[in-house]
Amino acid sequence: MSVPVFSRLNCNVQTLIDGVRRFKNKRVLVIGDLMLDRFVWGSVSRISPEAPVPVVEIRTESTCLGGAANVAVNIRKLGGMPLALGVIGADLEGREVIEKFRELGALTGGVMVDRGRATTVKTRIIAHHQQVCRADREDPTPLSAVLQNRLVARFQSAMARADAVVVSDYAKGLISVGLLQRILPLARSAGKIVCVDPKKKNLAAYRPATVITPNTLEAEQASGIAIHDERALVRAGRKILRQTGVEHLLITRGEHGMALFEGNARVTHIPTLAKEVFDVTGAGDTVISTLALGLAAGLPVLEAAVLSNVAAGIVVGKLGTASVDPEELIAAIRERAGR
C-alpha cells in the first residue's frame, strides 16, 4: 500500500503499527465450526487409465487446524489469546484438534465432544503447488438441545473474560439461528465487540453484531443484487445495512479488495494488497481474526479493516492454510508505506 493510498483512506501508518502491538494478550472468544485441514502433497506425471483424472504420487501429508479453529490459530499467531468454543467428534481427528490447540498454547475448555458426530475434516490434494481436488467429511446436522444449552452456558461464562467475540460460521451445524438468537443478545448486553464471518443467506440472523464480513457472493445472495460494478456494490451494501441493522459491514472482494460500509452510510473502498496469490485457503479467517483484534485493541473500524486487508494480502501469498505474526504484519505495513 503506497503513501497516497494511506492518505486517501485517512489511515496513519504509526496508528496501524501501534494497533498491531496492542494485539498482545487480547482475549477473543471464537465460536464456530471447528475443523481439521489435511493436506496431501505430491506430484503428477500421468493420467489414470481408469478415468480421465491425474494420478497423484504422494510425497508427504500434513494437518492443521481449520474453520473456526483456524481463526483461533490466526488470533494466537498475531499475539492474542483465543477462547475457542465448538464441537468435535469422539474420534482420532477430534483428539488431533485438541492436541493442536494445546501445542498452540490456546485454551481448550470450550471444546466439547459430541459422540454422535464426526469431526469435520477437509482433505486437499495438492500437486505442483496446485490443488487437484478436495474431499470433505462433515455432519451439518444441528446440535441437540442438550448440547446447545451447554454451549450457551459456556459462551456466557467465557464471554466475561473476552475483549471481543468472533462468530465463525461454516454451515457445519453449529451456528444455527436458534443459537444466534441466544448468544448475540448476551454479547450485546455485555457490551462486547462481535465480528461475524457469515454463511447464511439471511444476514439479519446475525443481528445484533458490530461488523459482518460477507464475501461478494454472500453479499449478492443476501441483497438480491448482482454486484457487477461499484455502483451495484454500494446498493447491495446499503441494503444489507438496512436489513440487518448492524453497525458496520465489510464486504471482502478478492482481487478487488474490500468495501467498508458504516452505519452512517459512509462507504470506503480498500484496494487489495496481495502481491501474489498462491492460495486463498483461510484468507477469510485471517480477515475476521485481524479485524476482531484491531477493534479489541481500540482501533476505529476503518483502521481495523485496513489491517485485516494487509494481513489477508500476506496469507494468500502462502500455500495452504496460513497465518501471519505481528512482526510480519508490521513489516508489510511499512513496506507498503514505503518506509
pLDDT of residue 320: 60
Q: Is residue 130 part of a domain?
A: no
| Whether the Cβ atoms of residue 169 and residue 179 lie closer than 8 Å to each other | no
Spacing of C-alpha 324 from chain mean position = 13
The residue ranking higher by pLDDT, 186 or 335, is 186
Residue carrying the nine cell digits 473500524: 301
| Whether the Cβ atoms of residue 239 and residue 223 lie closer than 8 Å to each other | yes
Q: Which of 114, 169, 279, 285 is catalytic?
A: 285
Q: Tell me the pLDDT tens digit for each residue of 110-129.
A: 999 999 999 999 999 999 88
| C-alpha separations of 303 from 11, 19, 109, 295, 316 in Å | 6, 9, 32, 9, 20
Q: Is residue 45 part of a domain?
A: no
Mean pLDDT, the chain, rounded, equals: 91
Q: Tell me the pLDDT tens digit for each residue of 273-311.
A: 655 554 455 688 999 999 999 999 999 999 999 999 999
Q: Considering the entire predicted model, what is its pTM?
A: 0.91
Q: Is residue 128 part of a domain?
A: no
- Structural domain including 243 reads 3-35+66-118+138-336
CATH classification at residue 236: 3.40.1190.20
210: which 3 cell numbers? 458490530
* b/e code 284-304 from CB counts within 10 Å (16+ = b): bbbbbbbbbbbbbbebebbbb
Cβ atoms within 10 Å, residue 60:
8
Q: Is residue 52 part of a domain?
A: no
Q: How many domains does the chain have?
A: 1
| C-alpha separations of 9 from 18, 189, 267, 280 in Å | 17, 32, 11, 25
Q: Is residue 214 part of a domain?
A: yes
- Give the whole-angstrom CA distance, residue 240 versus residue 19: 29
Q: Does 285 qualify as catalytic in the annotation?
A: yes
pLDDT mean over 216-226: 95
Q: Tell me the pLDDT tens digit for each residue of 14-38.
A: 999 999 999 998 999 999 999 999 9
Q: Is residue 60 part of a domain?
A: no
| Whether the Cβ atoms of residue 205 and residue 177 lie closer than 8 Å to each other | yes
pLDDT of residue 106: 87
pLDDT at 83 over 60: yes
